Amino acid sequence: MMKLNADLGESFGHWQATSDQDIMAYIDQANVACGYHAGDPKVLQRTVALVKRHNVSLGAHPSYPDLQGFGRRSMRIPADELIPMIHAQMAIVEGMAKCQNVALEYVKPHGALYNDMMQHAQVFEDVVSAMAEYHQRYPLMIQALANNDFHRQIASHHNIDLIFEAFADRRYTATGYLESRQNPDAVLSSIEALAQARLLIERGEVITDQGKRISIVADSLCVHGDSPDALKMVSQIREILQQQGV
């Protein structure tokens, strides 16, 4: 069955995101900030406790080192720097989770690192290398495209499992990439998003910006809990999943 994943633990020091608790009841997988775009050790400790209480799967959410930019600015970082950076972020989540008897289960890059990984073959290879050179093999969550052959090939070569995710509330282009947020219609309305979630869940398909139906086969849907509207949508998507599960 399709899983739901969300980004969590994105507070920092004095600045507290308050929505973590609310979305926990609806999701299966928590992508937890590792301190590079958000998340300090205390926040991380608290987020792991939340993950544990709700029995959600724990993912590390590594980023470029850019607290001020929230990891959303692309940085060109050579592999010999990027790989240890990713290791460091995996290690901090892994070790602190273990203190609460919680196991790290997967890794999903954040923000600009995620985008660069999906756009640039070299960055994807660097990220997969980081996964392969870590002391334990964790699955890597990436974006489900119309065609992920390249990603499957690289990951398979390094013996890394992939988890594919799709987006309920973002408009797709013909290749399965998302329309840029700079376009006014990049983000779907609630009604459209719910319809897209249903189509993804029931058929493994989306309707693109050109009105074509393409296949997007995903293991997980990325959802948000940062507003009452967002939360309501997550609960509605959860209902679709439960009906389907019957």
Estimate to the nearest angstrom the gap between the alpha carbon of 157 and the chain centroid.
23
> Would you count residue 191 as binding a copy of itself (CB under 8 A)?
no
The rounded distance, in Å, linking the Cα atoms of 136 and 149 is 24
Query: Residue 91 interacts with a copy of itself (CB under 8 A)?
Result: yes
Q: Which of 24, 56, 90, 218 lies at the binding interface for a copy of itself (CB under 8 A)?
A: 90
CA 236: distance to chain centroid? 20
Decide: is 228 part of the binding site for a copy of itself (CB under 8 A): no
C-alpha 102/C-alpha 96 separation (Å) is: 9
**Residue 53 near a copy of itself by CB under 8 A:** no
User: What are the residues whose beta carbons fall under 8 Å from the beta carbon of 235, sequence distance 6 or more?
Assistant: 26
Instruction: Residue 187: count other Cβ atoms within 10 Å of its Cβ.
Output: 15
Stretch that binds a copy of itself, among 7-15, 21-29, 185-193, 228-236 (CB under 8 A): 7-15
What is the Cα 218 distance to its own chain's centre?
A: 12
Number of residues that bind a copy of itself (CB under 8 A): 44
**Residue 124 is encoded by which pair of tokens?**
């994807």
Q: Is 126 in the site for a copy of itself (CB under 8 A)?
A: no
94 in contact with a copy of itself (CB under 8 A):
yes
Per CB under 8 A, the segment of 87-95, 152-160, 164-172, 213-221 that binds a copy of itself is 87-95
Which one among 21, 25, 53, 73 touches a copy of itself, defined by CB under 8 A? 73
**Counting contacts by CB under 8 A, is residue 164 touching a copy of itself?**
no
Residue 234 interacts with a copy of itself (CB under 8 A): yes or no: no
Question: Which residue from 2, 6, 8, 38 is in contact with a copy of itself, where contact means CB under 8 A?
Answer: 38
Using the rule CB under 8 A, which residue among 76, 181, 184, 245 binds a copy of itself?
A: 76
Give residue 174's identity as a one-letter amino acid code: A
Cα–Cα dist 156/150, whole Å: 10
Stretch that binds a copy of itself, among 83-91, 118-126, 158-166, 217-225 (CB under 8 A): 83-91
- Integer Cα distance of 36 and 88 in angstroms: 10
Question: What is the three-class DSSP state of 3?
Answer: strand
Tokens of 153: 């090939």
Residue 67's contacts (CB-CB under 8 Å, 6 or more residues apart) are: 12, 36, 37, 38
Please answer whether residues 31 and 61 qualify as being in contact, where contact means their C-beta atoms are separated by less than 8 angstroms. Answer: yes
For a copy of itself, the closer CB: 112 or 237: 112
List of residues contacting a copy of itself (CB under 8 A)? 10, 12-15, 35, 38, 40-42, 44-45, 65-70, 72-77, 80-81, 84-85, 87-88, 90-96, 98-99, 101, 112, 133-135
